[in-house]
Copies of this chain bind each other. A is one copy, B any other.
Amino acid sequence: MAPSTPHPDRIHVTFHHDGRTTRLETRTGESLLDALRSAGVEVNSHCNGKGTCGKCRVHVVHGDGEANERERHVLGGLVRDGWRLACQLDVHEDVEVTVPDARMAQVATDGTMPDLELNPVIVRGKACLPPPGLEDQSPDDERFAEVTDLELPYRFLATLPDALRRTGFCPSYLYRTDRGEVVRFFDEDVDRTDRPLLGAAVDIGTTTLAVYLYDLETGRRIGTASALNPQRPYGADVISRIEYASAAPGNLRTLQRLVAERIGTLAVGLAERNGFSKDDLLTYTLAGNTTMMHLLANLPPKAIAVAPFIPVSLSARTVWADELGIAAGEGALCVLLPCVSAYVGADIVAGVLATGLDRRRGAPALFVDIGTNGEILLATDHGMTSCSTAAGPAFEGANLLFGMGGVEGAIDHVRLEDGDLAFTTIGGVEPAGLCGSGIVDAMAFLLDTGVVDETGRITDEPEALPAALAARVVEHEGQAAFRVTPPTGAIPSGILLTQRDVRELQNAKAAVRAGIEILIETSGTNAEGIADLYVAGGFGNYLDVRSAFRIGLFPPELAGRTRMAGNTSGIGAVLCLLDCRLVKAASKAVSRIDYIELSSDKRFTDHYIEAMMFPEP
């Protein structure tokens, strides 16, 4: 028989995703994005295949040529490493790609993951001791230490005699590698090899908690979960939380309990939904801003809120899970990552680990995490410099007339389509307001279309605009406004972006930009010399980078060098969970990070005013 020849139109896409490899047949010329979607793979694409959002990136193992101009613009340096956008990759030959998990992508991307060795803080051990006799009467603890070189903290010492005798002096146990101390003996199964050791990395956001559950012995991610930070009723931002915590005795403890309990509920729930139990959960690593870390650790945050902004402690700290009241297995530890200053927290330090900036060599890189505060860090060969700008909550969708968080119904993206404004909402439901990424898109839209000029003024000559846009320029309570959506019964005015909203956004972006400029100035480099711009955080996840550059949030020289780094706080916490030596690396990184207090920096006002203007088209 002659060998079968491949059908010229029958080509195959092989993709690795979520731990499995799938091979599917596709038609020549189809985009990889469509091929993946037809196979049921959920691929992010905020721009709907336009090649602008960078969300659908895949890592090519082999096949189908070079990245195009758009991919090079969006992916920057990643193109060199073999990354492409699925929406821009049209399949003409067999291809094999890895489709990254959206959240973990950067771990693979930034070169950290390949170096990662599993080295969790709590590991399993087993030892066989010479049994005691009248000739060898040494006490249990010495007998155990003699063979294992491990000690027992007082709180676990009482479990030793039973653990030895139940097992014929061959106990199985868990111990912490950072100290050489047993934290637990297994009391049911002699080896307990049927149970995993689980750990949870936690990103404690002011608004949202995210938990990443891992098998600490395989490095496998079991799942993720998130929830609103239950401290939210006590204030939307860190300052109001601090004020509440400081207002009366017991308030701090209230906030501490709320977050600790919710973290435990999330992690234990995740474990249980995957067939495991609370008892399997043995380590937490936790990162958040400095205030969140104070509230978690029950440290009074009062002095963080007022000049000169002094935290109680910035150090990394390992405590028992039950000291914090976080649900976990017996003997579980919580590792709190270190902070840099009152407003550059463990979330940023985790981000430094996640992006490898602490080991950065060669051209400088900029790291930006935008929320109520914009934390900015510049890494060079010589060390790192950081600052925090009080951007205000505009980028979180707050303080604007129709601003809202990134939840269902929020307009998350806005674009020009057929000469008029088109938008998408989270969940595809009726629009209820604008979240951060939608606001930045809308602002870019207004600048692109001339509705707003570079000074930030909404035009008073709407008649000069195309008719569709002119109709959207309205007056609202004595100020100019732009109508993003038409009036409805629920929202009689329609969703508006008012002149005051534009000013809020101008202030916010000017604060971030001024911080960036001061760091660049301080480091003695210039924007052109910066090779990578990492944009971290939830906002960065959804941001249309092009819009961000359009409004002047970032120096224009960095366009095309942007890396959407995802939840770097969570990723950094995951790294420390899987390799506890990175906690020391984090503390070492902190010692190499200078902090510039912008509120006392004479250069700030100049840069701020300068950054207030929008760039010309």
Contacts and interface: CB of A to CB of B under 8 A. Distances in A.
Interface of A: 132-142, 154-155, 157-158, 160-162, 165, 297-300, 302-303, 307-315, 317, 319, 323, 341-342, 595, 597, 599-600
A313 B314 CA distance: 37
Given A157-B313, A161-B310, 15 more contacts: A132-B308, A133-B308, A135-B600, A137-B309, A137-B310, A139-B314, A140-B312, A141-B313, A142-B315, A154-B297, A154-B317, A155-B323, A158-B299, A161-B312, A165-B303
Nearest to A318: B154
Nearest to A309: B137
Contacts of A165: 303
A134 B160 CA distance: 51
A139 B311 contact: yes
A341 B299 contact: no
Contacts of A309: 134, 137
B137 A299 contact: no
Contacts of A313: 139-142, 157, 160
Contacts of A157: 297, 299, 312-313
A28 B136 CA distance: 64
A324 to B, nearest CB: 10
A597 B134 contact: yes
A312 B134 contact: no
Contacts of A160: 312-313
A600 B132 CA distance: 14
Given A302-B161, A307-B134, A313-B139, A323 B599 contact: no
A311 B140 contact: yes
Contacts of A161: 299-300, 302-303, 310, 312
A595 B137 CA distance: 9
Contacts of A303: 140, 161, 165
Nearest to A141: B313
Given A140-B311, A161-B312, A134 B341 contact: no
Contacts of A600: 134-135
Contacts of A137: 308-310, 341-342, 595, 597
Contacts of A342: 137
A478 to B, nearest CB: 40
Q: Which of A135, A140, A141, A161 gathers most chain B CB within 10 Å?
A: A161
B158 A300 contact: yes
A137 B386 CA distance: 14
